[in-house]
Chain A
Amino acid sequence: MKSKCRNLGMVALAAALALTFSASTLMANPYEKYKGKTLVVSWPSNSHFKKAKQLVAEFTKETGIKVEIDYSQYLKMRNRQLLEMSKKDGDFDVVAWVVMWKGEYVAKGLLTPLSQFFTSPAFVDPNYDIEDIADAYIQNGGIVGGKKGYLPGKSGALYGLPFGAETSILAYRKDVFKKLGLAVPKTYADVRKAAKTIKEKTGMGGLTMRGKTGHQVTAAWLFHAAPMGARVFNDKWEPVFNSPAGVKTAEFLRETVKYGPRGIPSYSYGEASKAFLHGDAAMYIDSLKIAARARDPKQSKVVGKVGYALHPTDVQCGSETGGFAMGIPANSKNKEAAFLFIQWMTSKKADRRIVELGGDPIRISTLTDPVFSKKFPEYPVIAEQLKCADPDWRPLIPEWNELNIKVLGIALHQVLTSDKPIKPILDKAAKQARAVMKREGYYQWQSISSK
């Protein structure tokens, strides 16, 4: 029904275009041609994207392009998008994906390379300044096909632009640290010491953390694995999360449960952040999204008591890179208007507007703007953090979802809830992970290169 209406609209539009064809070259406004078209956008229903709704209204007002937003819970979004994008005529013109899915979408041929538009001056806003978008964000959310398939590299191509992207920082309770005379943690050794001291002296949880079975506990391991020098795979796709650094990271998780707020093994992101916002934990190392929530008196009992610092280091500096990016499905019928929409939403002007509306910026110029840093104390920290954000902190391969939930997510939870030696648990999981990778053909080249 909906697509029928749109088809009719398209016919009408085509007729109108044909009539004005001679005039179209004279159009002063690049949006003019697409005026009255309706874009259907698949977005997650999280706070950033909800707040961007106002920005979308401003886009329509300025350009005349209508936008219909299809919100869904972010974990449910993938099945929905895959279904639409694999049809002959999909309903979506723009999709926002969790960076984890980009490899899968491209491997299945579901996205349009953005180079199609960046090659044409008619589409590219000369003031767009793509260099200003945080490098870590664009590499992580938008570039597909480089080194390992998901990292930057000469074989990579741009499929999306970051929107609602994030990294990890440390949030801590200024009042608690001051009372106990503790310094702001710079390293993981500091975090360990502070957590123990806080728990023993005040009974309050030291560091909060996700710990629920599945992707939650794996996320916790990954957050701390990057600075501790642990990886899921080596360059030959052999699982190495059971390496000494990996075991050390798992030990840190176990210790965090011991000195953390009650119930970490049942925490998803919601519970983990609430423990901090309700004042049951003094430290938080996770997505920067905590800052906006800590300021909101409706969600937070710690308003004004929270300080921000760089994600602590161990053997190296490394924070997460995640969140969302936006791109255009290969089966969209409004690709050009969709590109103009994405470009507008990620422009300098829109980036500042989204901050005013309560969303998260992606541009360095916004993050380092003194006007904003006065209001948002975490912005200078984020701008600094992004310099060492680690695009390889988790493998963004199509098989990752399975490994994440069904292999690591189960093994690491065993680490949290038992006293058993960690190494054998991770060894067993590594064996399972290798079987998955073998099944998917990751070791085919090894048989040739070894001969």
Chain B
Amino acid sequence: MSDPSAPVATGMRRWIVGYLFVAPAVLLMGAGLIYPVVQGLLLSMQDWAVGTPMSTAEFIGADNYLRMLRDENVQESMWVTFKFGFFTITIEMTLGVALALLLEKPIRGASIFRTIFIMPLMISPVVVGLVWRYLFDARAGWINHYLELAGFEPLIWLGEPHLAFFAIVFTDIWQWTPFVFIIVIAGLQALPSEVLEASRIDGANTWQQIFLVKLPMIRSILIIALLLRLIDVFKGLEVMLILTEGGPGLATELLSLHVYKTAFDAQQLGYAAAISVLLLLIVFALSLAILLVSNPMKSRADV
């Protein structure tokens, strides 16, 4: 096939063929990813309400962005999102990894435990929201019922800012720890047994094995789990919408829920689009930061 007398032409052809091969994927990405983002950007510079023709939308330039920078509710909601992300991701990662390490060995009934742990992940977020709303119900909920039986004062879980925040963090941990668990356990089981055996022969105890061998070896998997959770936190909406509707006050109004309310309650689609752009930038910046610190693709190349 290759003709050494004409290397330039081959290079050119290879170049074109290469681009031809990636073209369908690029086009799909362009249609599915870039187009909505560009539309969102355009919308964020307009003043448009649902139910009026798009042609009547007014172009207002950066007004929405200027308003956003001064909007206390956006700031508050951002702070809530960061707080929520910090607590949920830290606890989910720790708990998920710990559970995976615990159930990695072939102990009795491990498969049953594994199935049970994965179940919350399979439930639709809307159902999760409803189930926990009833569990946390102040008057008729199970949690208060058992608190009372145990002799504690019942609490207004979804009506007190701190308790409601606790409730959404708790629900999120309940639902998403299994996700970290599955990814990590898959990674652990793929580890070459020779390495672990070698470390054991070298005299490493269980803790040393975990922290010096296993976790460093699945680092790229941990980073991916972290990234996915991070993106999810900024997208999270359904559970909060049903559980608390962002309340009490703004105590559980994550940024994405704030966008939803701005778009569909206040019907300011342009302004909502502007906040979405902010959301996108934050997720982008955080993801980039994580990838700069440790890029799973690069570490794979190093190996």
> In the complex, A86→B246 CA distance in Å?
30
Q: B265: CB under 8 A from chain A?
A: yes
Of the candidates B53, B156, B246, B268, the one whose C-beta lies within 8 Å of that of A266 is B156
Would you call B267 an interface residue if the criterion is a C-beta within 8 Å of the partner chain's C-beta atoms?
Answer: yes
Q: Known: A214-B245, A413-B247. Is A263-B51 also a contact (CB below 8 A)?
A: no
Whether A401 sits at the interface, judged by CB under 8 Å, is: yes
- Quick one: which of A83, A263, A280 has the most chain B CB within 10 A? A263
B248 touches A413 (CB 8 A): yes
- Asked whether any CB of chain B lies closer than 8 Å to the CB of A309, the reply is no
B33 at the interface (CB under 8 A from A): no
What residues of A have a CB within 8 angstroms of the CB of B248 in the complex? 213, 265-266, 413-414, 416-417
Q: Decide if A141 is an interface residue (CB 8 Å cutoff).
A: no
B139 contacts which of A82, A271, A413 (Cβ < 8 Å)? A271
Closest to A217 in B: B247
Residue contact B139 to A263, C-beta cutoff 8 Å:
yes
Once bound together, how far apart are the Cα atoms of A213 and B252, in whole Å?
Answer: 11
CA of A86 to CA of B249, assembled, Å: 33
In whole angstroms, how far apart are the Cα atoms of A187 and B262 in the complex?
A: 39
Return chain A residues, CB-CB under 8 Å to B158: 212, 263, 265-266
In the complex, the number of residue pairs spanning A and B with C-beta atoms less than 8 Å apart equals 99
Binary A-proximity of B249-261 (CB < 8 A = 1, otherwise 0): 1100000000001
Contact partner, A82, options B50, B250, B261, B268, Cβ 8 Å:
B50
What is the interface residue range for chain A against chain B? 35 or more
Q: Give the complex CA separation of A265 and B138 in angstroms.
A: 9
B-chain residues with CB within 8 Å of residue A280 when the two chains form the complex: 139
Known: A213-B246, A213-B249. A79 touches B137 (CB 8 A): no
Distance to closest chain B CB from A261 (angstroms): 6
In the complex, whether B28 has a CB less than 8 A from a CB of chain A is no
Contacts of A214 in B (CB 8 A): 245-247
Instruction: Tell yes or no: A406 within 8 A of B by CB.
Output: yes
A289 an interface residue at 8 Å Cβ cutoff?
Answer: no
CB distance from B80 to the nearest CB of A (A): 13
Question: Once the chains are docked, how many angstroms separate the CA of A214 from the CA of B262?
Answer: 13
A297 CB to nearest chain B CB (Å)? 18
A402 touches B156 (CB 8 A): no
Chain B proximity of A18: nearest CB distance (Å): 34
B264 contacts A79, C-beta separation under 8 Å? yes
Interface of A is mostly: helix
A143 sits at the interface (CB 8 A)? no
* B264 CB contacts on chain A under 8 angstroms: 79
A267 vs chain B, min Cβ distance (A): 8
The B interface is mostly helix, strand or loop, or mixed, namely: loop
Chain A nearest CB: distance from B230 CB in Å?
Answer: 27
Contact of A401 among B161, B246, B267 (CB under 8 A): B267
B159: contacting residue among A82, A108, A410, A417, CB under 8 A: A417
A402 — which chain B residues lie within 8 A by C-beta? 265-268
- Taken residue by residue from 41 to 83, chain B's Cβ proximity to chain A (1 for < 8 Å, 0 otherwise) reads as 0000000011111000000000000000000010000000000
| Contact yes or no, A413 B154, CB < 8 A | no
A213:B247 contact, CB within 8 angstroms:
yes
CA distance A261 to B49 in the complex (A): 40
Interface centre among A83, A86, A213 (most CB of B within 10 A): A213
In the complex, per-residue mask of A248-277: 1 if CB is within 8 Å of any chain B CB, else 0: 000000000000011111110001001100
A263 and B161 CA atoms in complex are apart in Å by 13
Q: Contact at B161–A417, with CB atoms within 8 Å?
A: yes
A82–B244 CA distance with the chains assembled, in angstroms? 26
Q: How far is the CA of A83 from the CA of B160 in the complex (A)?
A: 36
Whether A83 touches B50, Cβ cut-off 8 Å, given contacts A265-B156, A265-B248, A271-B139, is: yes
Q: Evaluate contact between B139 and A104: CB separation under 8 angstroms.
A: no
What are the residues of chain B within 8 A of A263 when measuring CB–CB? 137-139, 156, 158-159
A414 vs chain B, min Cβ distance (A): 5
Q: Which residues does chain A contribute within 8 Å of B144, judged by CB atoms?
A: 262
Select the residue from A108, A265, A278, A401 with max chain B CB neighbours within 10 A. A265
Which B residues lie within 8 Å of A416 (CB)? 159, 248
Interface centre among A108, A211, A406 (most CB of B within 10 A): A406
Chain A contacts for B246, CB-based, 8 A: 213-214
Contacts of B156 in A (CB 8 A): 262-266
Q: Which residues of B contact A262 (CB under 8 A)?
A: 138-139, 144, 154, 156
Q: Is A283's CB within 8 Å of the partner chain B?
A: no
Contact with B along A397-425 (1 / 0, CB 8 A): 00001100110011001101100000000
A-B contact pairs, 5 of them (CB 8 A): A266-B136, A275-B139, A410-B73, A414-B249, A417-B161
Given contacts A86-B51, A213-B246, 8 further A-B contacts (CB under 8 A): A82-B50, A86-B52, A213-B247, A214-B245, A262-B139, A278-B139, A413-B247, A417-B161
**Pairs A-B, 8 closest by C-beta atoms:** A263-B138, A213-B247, A265-B159, A82-B51, A266-B159, A402-B266, A266-B158, A86-B51
